[in-house]
Each structure stands twice: as structure tokens, then as C-alpha cells.
């Protein structure tokens, strides 16, 4: 018998001596389910507001917007003078949303969150920078904004706020 085999057999005998009289445990069949990252109650208020605001934006509805000239819109109860003031840059946006690189669903969700934030924080004017790119968001953002009941008017932004790649949005802030 070699020295290595002798050491292994001694170890085996020592192990058997140590575990003599021990009973084998029965295996528990408790299955632990993985915990969810957060429950429905822990969902942030901002996420809930964004989901609520997303309701207003439909891809099926196409409002009648003026096709001539820059992108512009005003509700029927809003003076056309407000649109002119947006165009001239009288309203200075307090909040900016940069949508460069976003997909449509993400942009729609962020736009809803922006409007919810503006209403909560009493911000009357916001700038939405959709970019030009392939004209997807450039075409969709005005359609979404025209559907929202709190959007009073919007106009293509003046050059200092983004020009053809941005829209200035005038929001109706409810009295508290």
C-alpha cells in the first residue's frame, strides 16, 4: 500500500468513526418563491401619475391640425393671441423634456409624466424637444398633445428653445 492510499484509508476510517450513529435528515420540501421587487402599493406616485396621463394619448385619434407652416394648435376656448405669444417666445419654458433617442411608447409615457409634473408644480409652459430625425416623434408629439385636456396651446419653438426640433406647450393650471 502506498503512502497516499494509506492516508486516504485512515481519513475514511476517521470519517466513519465520527459520523457513526448519526441519522440522515429528511429533506424539507419548502419551496421559496422569489420575492417581487416591489409590490403594487410601493409603486411610486410619479409612475401612477404617468400611467394616468398616458390614457389621454391614442395613436388612432388624429386631431385636425393646421398643415400649413409650423406646428401649432390651440383649443377652441383659447385666444389665438396665446399661440402668437408662444411663437414669439414670450412664454419661457420652466421645464424641458428631451426625447432624443426614445421609442414611441417611452416618449408617450414621458410626455404624460411631464404634463402631470407641470400641473402638480404649477408650471404653465414647457418645452418638448422631440428632434427631427426620421420625423416619427415630430409627427406624433403634436397629435398626442392635442388630445390632452390640460394642453391649452402649443407651437413650434423659437430658435432659442429648439426651433423645428421642439414644441413649446402652454398648459392650463387648475386653481387649488
The confidence score (pLDDT) of residue 55 equals 57
CATH code, domain with 107:
3.30.1370.110
Task: Answer for the pair 109, 137: CB distance below 8 angstroms, yes or no.
Answer: no
pLDDT of residue 9: 81
Residue 19 in any domain: the answer is: no
pLDDT at 146: 86
Mean pLDDT of the chain: 80
In a domain, 99, yes or no: yes
Domain coverage including residue 88: 45-171
> Per the structure, how many domains does the chain have?
1
User: How many whole angstroms separate alpha carbon 89 and alpha carbon 160?
Assistant: 9
pLDDT at 45: 66
Taking CA atoms, 121 is separated from 31, 62, 78, in Å, by 47, 29, 22
pLDDT in tens, 48-72: 665 655 556 766 666 667 676 677 8
Whether residue 33 is contained in a domain is answered as no
pTM: 0.64
Amino acid at each position: 500500500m502506498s503512502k497516499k492510499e494509506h492516508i486516504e484509508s485512515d481519513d475514511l476510517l476517521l470519517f466513519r468513526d465520527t459520523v457513526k450513529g448519526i441519522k440522515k435528515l429528511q429533506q424539507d420540501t419548502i419551496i421559496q418563491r422569489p420575492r417581487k421587487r416591489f409590490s403594487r402599493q410601493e409603486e411610486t406616485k410619479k409612475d401612477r401619475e404617468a400611467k394616468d396621463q398616458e390614457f389621454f394619448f391614442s395613436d388612432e385619434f388624429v386631431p385636425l391640425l393646421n398643415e400649413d407652416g409650423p406646428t401649432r394648435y390651440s383649443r377652441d376656448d383659447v385666444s389665438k393671441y396665446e399661440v402668437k405669444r408662444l411663437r414669439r417666445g414670450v412664454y419661457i419654458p420652466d421645464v424641458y423634456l428631451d426625447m432624443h433617442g426614445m421609442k414611441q411608447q417611452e416618449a408617450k409615457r414621458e410626455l404624460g409624466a411631464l404634463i402631470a409634473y407641470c400641473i402638480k408644480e404649477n408650471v404653465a409652459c414647457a418645452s418638448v424637444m422631440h428632434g427631427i430625425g426620421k420625423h416619427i416623434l415630430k409627427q406624433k408629439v403634436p397629435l398626442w398633445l392635442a388630445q390632452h385636456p390640460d394642453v391649452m396651446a402649443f407651437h413650434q419653438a423659437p430658435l432659442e428653445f429648439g426651433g423645428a426640433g421642439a414644441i413649446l406647450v402652454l398648459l392650463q393650471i387648475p386653481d387649488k
